[in-house]
Amino acid sequence: MKPWENPTVVGKPLPRVDGNERAGGTARYTMDVRLPRMLHAAILRSPHANAIVKKVDTSEAEKMPGVRAVISMNDPEGKAPWAIHPGTRKPVSQIFDPHCRYQGEEIAAVAAETQQQAWDAVRAIRVEYEVLPHVVDPEEAIKPDAPKVWEEGNQPWPPAKYSRGDVDKGFAEADVVVEHTFRTICQIHTPTELHGSVARWRGNRLQVWDTTQGVFAIQRGLAEWFKLPLADVRVIGPYMGGGFGSKLELGKYTVIAAMLARRTKRPVKLFLTREESFLCVGNRPPHILTVKIGAKKDGTLTAIDYRGLGTFGAYPNWTTTDYQARDLYKCPNVRSEERQVYVNTGTARPFRAPGFPQCNWALEQTMDALAEKLGMDPVELRLRNVPTVSQAEGNKPYSTTGLAECLRRGAEEFGWKEARARAKSDGPVVRGVGVAAGLWGYAGGPPSTVIVKLYPDGSANINMGAADLGTGTKTVMTMIVAEELGVPVENISIEWADTGTTQYTEPSGGSKTVVSDGPPARDAAAEVRKQLFEMASEQLKVPASELALKDGKIIAGDRQVAMGEIRAFAEQQVIVGVGTRKPNPPDQVIHPFAVQFAEVEVNKRTGEMKVLRMLGAHDSGRAMNLLTYRNQVFGGMVMGIGFGATERRIMDASSGRVINANWHDYKLPTALDAPAEVACVPVDPKDESNNLGAKGLGEPATIPSASAVANAFYNATGVRITDAPMSTSNIVAALNAKGNRG
């Protein structure tokens, strides 16, 4: 099936189908789950960055009022293996490990009648530590005499390397070469909804309500952990308040809740506090990146050299960042080398476009510097180097690429040329504009199954396994089925994210939920329509090919027939359609592309920076819902302002502790940091790689945002902030260094 040519529902700015519940407070989140006889749990965490746990004494805690269970490394279940080394696939730690490698690692857990009793009991646990030297700075951790996070050393594997062409020759041929080194901050996961679970056993069957992006991933993890058949583990994902990648994987808190529930034979609720979540639900790790780009006088790129040092914290995770350096611009000679080191800090986790904003910060600021050195407009420089094939994937063609159109239309609607030429200074207050481009590397695919049911009264039901993280997945899925069945959106209800009652899909992440789960939803609805038309065709004596659906009615020539009037349908009472996700075309590379523009105002005396306006021109294929599309783009931009300007985890090197593990000292961008003026330009190159025409939006929306702001800052001040964040104090320091305080 090809994407619709003239959809009537899909693409419209439809408010969320669950907007009333979410805004009105009736939506039930995991935190809202309350079961009879439910206990409350809390976790004791290591205060040290690196320590051996010599002894855990829980005797006092066990005697505290209301306490029903305490589990630690003293118990057999506390010794079960936890983290798996991605290289060797061997377990590298246990759930309550006697070696704590970062502040916040789990030591013990308590279940009690009330939450306060659980917290009190946690404080009554006595622990003897042997505190070891620690290292929290990646640049310190690679030094030969650095404290060891792991016995085997701080660099678990050789650097990841990539190369094509001849980079040295490429630089020799260049007329202009620029090189800069950049630092990005550690961005901590702090979704509005905290991380937590409610677990209940019925005999040997486990039921868990979980704050998760993927109920089937949690089901699989729990089944392995407790050695249960998959069918005996039911995981339900209620409403969610954001995940951003921090809720893709099974968390220790979920396993601990289930362990405590099994021990006490009572349901257990375990939620992390906000302060705990700052330590242990994951982060976008800090990076040090050096980018060198060579170009001919006319702007043609001749070579890119990309070197990076990253960290995954104390446990292994995936963090290479170089994809855009390989694929965003046409360039025959590219080399990258990335090293990873362990440090004694909380672990990296996937975080909205893992690796991409970091690379973008370095690559796109270097492109900006290159444009200046060439005396060329930064939009023009990018337009000169737009590729038509994916060089990172063996020169396979893109399914579609709207990068050039994003650059052109974005520049036009932003008023780029005029803004660039405008007089910028008003005493110490200066203004500037910047641009950055980006791409995202994933595009969804199998497996995913969706079921659609149609009833004779013209109402329909969608049944899907995917979570709606808050992005509007349910709304878009409803629109797809409404489009296909010609029934009003209000007549469709949706069931989601329950391993007991919905179908398998991969976790919602990678900007691939709509593009993985939407196509089978459309196929399922088309299957329903086919069956309905067969029944109608027989009764109405009209060929199925001449039937249509509109406003919940069957259209046969000038007749309009209610669905319930089709006798065979009324007898059967329901028509069921099953859709399964087909593979993507194997001979194409599917990427969403993004170009964002920013205008900033900087007060050179005070160091204050205001982002005045931003515009995002995005090729994510078809905009499935204009309203949720804009939400994603604007949300992505604000998150990017956080990444570039306001957020950063601050590690105290001497204690190895996070000194801003709370929402007061860790500064998320607020309404005061967001631009007052935002605009969004959807660019649709009519992609046909799936039956929707969509390519995914959630992550590309944040990839170039911080870089666009940084380039605007440079345009305003003539000073480049290579090391994030663009905080007031860093801005003052950078301007002072250049003697440029106005």
> Looking at beta carbons only, is 510 or 592 nearer to ligand MOS?
510
> Looking at beta carbons only, is 68 or 287 nearer to ligand MOS?
287
Among 285, 354, 355, 434, binds ligand MOS (CB under 6 A): 354
> Looking at beta carbons only, is 507 or 552 nearer to ligand MOS?
507
The C-alpha atoms of residue 452 and residue 460 are separated, in whole angstroms, by 7
Among 225, 351, 356, 398, binds ligand MOS (CB under 6 A): 351
Three-state DSSP class for 712?
Answer: helix
> Looking at beta carbons only, is 4 or 351 nearer to ligand MOS?
351
In angstroms, give the least distance from the CB of 30 to ligand MOS: 17
Taking residue 334's Cβ as centre, other Cβ atoms within 10 Å add up to 24
- 510 contributes a contact to ligand MOS by CB under 6 A: yes
In angstroms, give the least distance from the CB of 89 to ligand MOS: 22
For residue 112, what are the contacts with CB-CB under 8 A and spacing of at least 6? 39, 40, 41, 42, 64, 66, 67, 68, 118, 120, 121
> Looking at beta carbons only, is 352 or 622 nearer to ligand MOS?
352
> Looking at beta carbons only, is 354 or 486 nearer to ligand MOS?
354
In angstroms, give the least distance from the CB of 531 to ligand MOS: 36
> Looking at beta carbons only, is 319 or 603 nearer to ligand MOS?
319
Residue 485: enclosing H or E segment and its boundaries?
helix 473-485
Tokens of 715: 């345009």
Three-state DSSP class for 44?
Answer: strand
Pairing of strands 205-210, 233-236: parallel
**DSSP symbols for 439-483:** E------S-BEEEEEE-TTS-EEEEE-----SSSHHHHHHHHHHH
Taking residue 733's Cβ as centre, other Cβ atoms within 10 Å add up to 13
Best CA proximity match to 591, nearest among 738, 735, 700: 700
In angstroms, give the least distance from the CB of 511 to ligand MOS: 7
In angstroms, give the least distance from the CB of 443 to ligand MOS: 13
- 214 contributes a contact to ligand MOS by CB under 6 A: no
Q: What angle do CA 96, 101, 103 make, to 5 degrees?
A: 90
Beta bridge partners of 348: 283
Among 438, 509, 642, 644, binds ligand MOS (CB under 6 A): 509
Best CA proximity match to 458, nearest among 544, 609, 561, 334: 561
In angstroms, give the least distance from the CB of 474 to ligand MOS: 17
Among 82, 96, 244, 361, binds ligand MOS (CB under 6 A): 244
- 643 contributes a contact to ligand MOS by CB under 6 A: no
In angstroms, give the least distance from the CB of 398 to ligand MOS: 21
The C-alpha atoms of residue 380 and residue 539 are separated, in whole angstroms, by 62
Order across the sheet with 233-236: list the strands: 67-72, 106-112, 39-45, 268-271, 196-202, 205-210, 233-236
AA identity, residue 528: V
> Looking at beta carbons only, is 248 or 549 nearer to ligand MOS?
248
Stretch that binds ligand MOS, among 8-16, 240-248, 444-452, 729-737 (CB under 6 A): 240-248
Among 310, 350, 434, 644, binds ligand MOS (CB under 6 A): 350
> Looking at beta carbons only, is 214 or 675 nearer to ligand MOS?
214
The site string for ligand MOS over 153-192 (x = CB under 6 A, - otherwise) reads ----------------------------------------
User: Nearest 10 degrees: CA dihedral of 440, 497, 239, 117?
Assistant: -110
Stretch that binds ligand MOS, among 86-94, 222-230, 349-357, 620-628 (CB under 6 A): 349-357
DSSP state of 643: I
Tokens of 730: 């860093």
In angstroms, give the least distance from the CB of 302 to ligand MOS: 33
> Looking at beta carbons only, is 201 or 323 nearer to ligand MOS?
323
The C-alpha atoms of residue 415 and residue 402 are separated, in whole angstroms, by 19
Q: Please, which of residues 568-587 interact with ligand MOS by CB under 6 A?
A: none
Among 237, 243, 282, 635, binds ligand MOS (CB under 6 A): 243
Residue 52: enclosing H or E segment and its boundaries?
strand 51-57
Among 245, 282, 456, 693, binds ligand MOS (CB under 6 A): 245
In angstroms, give the least distance from the CB of 322 to ligand MOS: 17
- 352 contributes a contact to ligand MOS by CB under 6 A: yes
The C-alpha atoms of residue 287 and residue 307 are separated, in whole angstroms, by 10
Best CA proximity match to 346, nearest among 143, 89, 134, 49: 49
Q: Is-contact 309 338, C-beta < 8 A?
A: yes
Residues 387, 629, 349, 504: is their CA dihedral positive or negative? negative
Q: Please, which of residues 306-345 interact with ligand MOS by CB under 6 A?
A: none
Longest dimension (CA), the chain: 85
In angstroms, give the least distance from the CB of 640 to ligand MOS: 14
Stretch that binds ligand MOS, among 86-94, 106-114, 347-355, 377-385 (CB under 6 A): 347-355
Number of residues assigned to the chain: 742
- 248 contributes a contact to ligand MOS by CB under 6 A: yes
> Looking at beta carbons only, is 344 or 516 nearer to ligand MOS?
516
Best CA proximity match to 81, nearest among 225, 257, 247, 254: 225
Stretch that binds ligand MOS, among 241-249, 445-453, 513-521, 677-685 (CB under 6 A): 241-249
The site string for ligand MOS over 460-499 (x = CB under 6 A, - otherwise) reads ----------------------------------------
Stretch that binds ligand MOS, among 350-358, 390-398, 602-610, 636-644 (CB under 6 A): 350-358
Stretch that binds ligand MOS, among 87-95, 243-251, 386-394, 647-655 (CB under 6 A): 243-251
The C-alpha atoms of residue 177 and residue 187 are separated, in whole angstroms, by 31
AA identity, residue 532: L
Sequence-ordered alpha helix ranges (H) in 328-415 = 356-374, 378-384, 403-414
Binding site for ligand MOS (CB under 6 A): 213, 243-245, 248, 350-352, 354, 509-510
